[in-house]
Amino acid sequence: MSWVTQQISFTVDDRAVLVEAAPWERLSSVLRDRLGLTGTKVGCDAGDCGACTVRLDGDVVCACMVAAAQVEGRKVTTVAGLAATDLAATDLAATDLATTDLAGIAGSLSRLQESFLHYGAAQCGICTPGMLVAAAALLDATPCPSRAEVEEALSGVLCRCTGYQKIVAAVLHAGDPTPAECVPLAGCAVGASIRKLDGMVKVTGKDLFAADEAPEAALVVRVLRSPHHAARFALGDIDAFLAARPGILAVYSAKDVPGENSFGVIPGFVDQPVFAEQVCRFRGEAVALVVGEAAPMADLDLEDLPVSWQELDPLLNPEAAQASTAPPLHAGRPGNVLTEGFVERGDLEQGFAAAVLVVEGNFETPFVEHAYIEPEAGFARRVGDRLEVHACTQAPHMDRDALARIMGMPLDQVRVVPTACGGGFGSKLDISLQPFVALAAWKLGRPARIVYTRPESMQSTTKRHPAEIKLRVGAARDGRLTGFDFFAIFN
């Protein structure tokens, strides 16, 4: 099915634009995908994170929650419209804001952007465009805001990196009519804050995160994932599925992996399948990928893929996984135990006998989603006889090693190019999308890209594992610990 489109005219950062779009298309998509204005970021597509914050006739809105038809005849301001000092003097209508190097225009930053640079308020930078737009709107209405007013104005934009203190300080500084000097004076530089080397691109929205670029006409990859916690599955007639869908080019699953169908960041524990084989172990586990041209892929309902599911009893906690009747989750892990450790020193009971106070308790730490604002994204392509993968990653060399194993290639035939990384916090040490785009691009000989949705990111990527902890601690009167007994099961 092709969507009905219409012409929609509006202004973006004082530039008149005319786009052909479906009336219900998200403004964030219109800005990024149709106009190439990737300064506006996307974190959730649900109006929750605020990364896509722009101004619409001056009001602060989430661009992902505004339909294209709603902006007809109206004025949109993005982060690219903030660096106004010198750019205001240039012909903005004739300026390609997607390619102009703002960093090369001396003095082009607004006072607010300068302040973000000085305070280190842009760390990974994925939230920074939204923060800046929301803060600029506040400063327009309230030039010298209080801390409470700043906090209220920024409350719709989430930041995972900064703890907000630096951002709030930067906005207060920008609104201060008599601000302290930002740049360390001669002789006063030691101990002063330094500016991030890549801060300029972050406060102008010019930094390129993984979803911000891909080769022209790149194929699109989407991943079929298990809807069940545990299930046996079988793929049906893939040839018939493809024959009925022009532009959908291939479906790949575990049998198509040329090397080893597994990954994992810790040597010896490399047992996470790229694609589940016959049985999937968690809701969100990859079963197959579909790759095709962008338009038919956008229309594709993944539920149309021929796959049959036989739901199994899931093992949802360590107790269930260690029951004598529990099926093995991975080969070579008796009792479903990955690894065990034991440390002993001194005489425990003697230690507790020497204590004047003994406390004990049972504790649980929860499953923790890293919740970086940038969902996983990237693309792959063949370059000569090499495979090149561009992705948001914390560990390009580890990605290269894993991809070489999965693709059955020598290390020097795989190149990983890290994009700007919109937060990772450890989770982006593991690979996620990399094997999917690598497989599609290598087998079809065309660039292939993927951008995870927020639910897909949360379902499928690695987490901080929950723990059940039993703890007993004894202490002497002077506060010295005399005994410490700790037992924990990590899920």
Nearer to ligand FES, 113 or 261 (CB): 113
Does position 253 interact with ligand FES (CB under 6 A)? The reply is no
In angstroms, the CA 287 to CA 217 distance is 26
Question: Nearest approach, Cβ of 47 to ligand FES (angstroms)?
Answer: 17
In angstroms, the CA 241 to CA 251 distance is 9
- Which structure tokens are listed for 361? 């308790």
Nearer to ligand FES, 128 or 393 (CB): 128
Among 160, 381, 390, 405, binds ligand FES (CB under 6 A): 160
Burial string for 33-66 (b: 16+ CB within 10 Å, else e) reads bebebbbbbbbbbeeebbbbbbbbeeebbbbbeb
Question: Nearest approach, Cβ of 42 to ligand FES (angstroms)?
Answer: 13
Does position 161 interact with ligand FES (CB under 6 A)? The reply is yes
Does position 52 interact with ligand FES (CB under 6 A)? The reply is no
Among 40, 115, 123, 419, binds ligand FES (CB under 6 A): 123
Does position 273 interact with ligand FES (CB under 6 A)? The reply is no
Does position 409 interact with ligand FES (CB under 6 A)? The reply is no
Does position 162 interact with ligand FES (CB under 6 A)? The reply is yes
Contacts of 336 (CB under 8 A, 6+ apart): 315, 321, 322, 326, 328, 329, 330
Nearer to ligand FES, 182 or 371 (CB): 371
Question: Nearest approach, Cβ of 373 to ligand FES (angstroms)?
Answer: 5
In angstroms, the CA 102 to CA 200 distance is 9
Does position 21 interact with ligand FES (CB under 6 A)? The reply is no
Which window, 83-91, 160-168, 270-278, 339-347, contacts ligand FES (CB under 6 A)?
Answer: 160-168
Nearer to ligand FES, 224 or 391 (CB): 391
Does position 115 interact with ligand FES (CB under 6 A)? The reply is no
Among 50, 145, 175, 423, binds ligand FES (CB under 6 A): 423
Does position 124 interact with ligand FES (CB under 6 A)? The reply is yes
Nearer to ligand FES, 119 or 252 (CB): 119
HSE, side-chain direction, 13 A CA sphere, residue 91: 2
Which window, 118-126, 136-144, 245-253, 332-340, contacts ligand FES (CB under 6 A)?
Answer: 118-126
Question: Which string of DSSP letters, residue by residue, matches 203-236?
Answer: HTT---BGGG---TT-EEEEEEE-SSSSEEEEE-
> What type of residue is 294?
A
- Which structure tokens are listed for 301? 């309902």
Helix or strand run (H / E) with residue 353: helix 348-353
In angstroms, the CA 235 to CA 328 distance is 23
Which window, 116-124, 234-242, 265-273, 334-342, contacts ligand FES (CB under 6 A)?
Answer: 116-124
Does position 406 interact with ligand FES (CB under 6 A)? The reply is no
In angstroms, the CA 448 to CA 382 distance is 10
In angstroms, the CA 424 to CA 212 distance is 17
Question: Nearest approach, Cβ of 156 to ligand FES (angstroms)?
Answer: 13
Does position 220 interact with ligand FES (CB under 6 A)? The reply is no
209 phi/psi in degrees, rounded to 5: -85, 175
* Placement of tokens 């370059």 in the chain: 383
- The footprint of ligand FES (CB under 6 A) covers 122-128, 159-162, 373, 423
